[in-house]
Structures are given as structure tokens and as C-alpha cells.
């Protein structure tokens, strides 16, 4: 079974600064996806960024980028130029590649607070 570990229950960052959220995972699969989801106070899950394991290039979406280290099974999220609206719970998630009925496995989450 796959597991996802987020070792930082809470983090804070000053507005406009950069913050990195950690995530490690354990799997015997070779083909899989990794995700970061954001859950603001509204509780709506929002996809932040996605990485396919077979791609060596780290994914980037505007101010969000990842550091994907496949051998180390590490998938950290870097948020640059932090904004107040980035305040939320952030969940790292794993999904093995396969048919459409494979679910996401989530880490326990990191609560990020952006301070003005």
C-alpha cells in the first residue's frame, strides 16, 4: 500500500516570501502521479500542481513549483511570492497509474498561514 507523509503540520510565511512544504511517499510502483491540493476555509479542494513520475522535469504553475526527487521519494512544494490568499491546508497526494478507478491517497496535510 502507498503512504504519503507530510511532516509539517503547520507553517507560516511572511507575505511576498517563499515557503517550501515537504512531502515524502512510499510506493513500489514505478508509474504514478503526485499532486498538491489546496483546501481553503471553504473546504473546496483545489488542484495546485501535478507531476507525472516518468517526467524528470519538475512541474511549475506560476508561483508554485515542485522539487520531485524520485529516488528519494520526495515531492516538495515551493510557493514563491506568497500571498494572503495562499493561506490554506495543503495536501500532498499520490495516485498510481492505471485505470480510472485508482483513488488519490492523501497525506495528513500542512496548514499554511501567510502573514501580512
- Residue 28 touches another protein, criterion: CB under 8 A: no
- 3-state secondary structure labels for all residues of the chain: CCEEECCCCEEEEECCCCEEECCEEECCCCCEEEEEEEECCCCCCEEEEEEECCCCCCCEECCEEEEEECCCCEEEEEECCCCHHHCEEEEEEEEECCCCCCCCEECCCEEEEEEC
Please select the residue that binds another protein; options are 22, 33, 63, 76, rule is CB under 8 A. Answer: 33
Binding segment (CB under 8 A) for another protein, from list 17-25, 56-64, 80-88, 103-111: 103-111
- Residue 100 touches another protein, criterion: CB under 8 A: yes
Interface with another protein by CB under 8 A: which residues? 33, 35, 42-45, 47, 50, 52, 91, 95, 97, 99-101, 103-109
Amino acid at each position: 500500500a502507498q503512504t504519503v507523509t507530510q511532516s509539517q503540520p503547520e507553517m507560516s510565511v511572511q507575505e511576498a516570501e517563499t515557503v517550501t512544504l515537504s512531502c515524502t511517499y512510499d510506493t513500489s510502483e514505478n508509474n504514478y502521479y503526485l499532486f498538491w491540493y489546496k483546501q481553503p476555509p471553504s473546504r473546496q479542494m483545489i488542484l495546485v500542481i501535478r507531476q507525472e513520475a516518468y517526467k524528470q522535469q519538475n512541474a511549475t504553475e506560476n508561483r508554485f513549483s515542485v522539487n520531485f526527487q524520485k529516488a528519494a521519494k520526495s515531492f516538495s512544494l515551493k510557493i514563491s511570492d506568497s500571498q494572503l490568499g495562499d493561506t490554506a491546508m495543503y495536501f500532498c497526494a499520490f495516485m498510481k497509474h492505471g485505470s480510472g478507478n485508482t483513488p488519490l491517497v492523501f497525506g495528513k496535510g500542512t496548514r499554511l498561514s501567510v502573514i501580512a
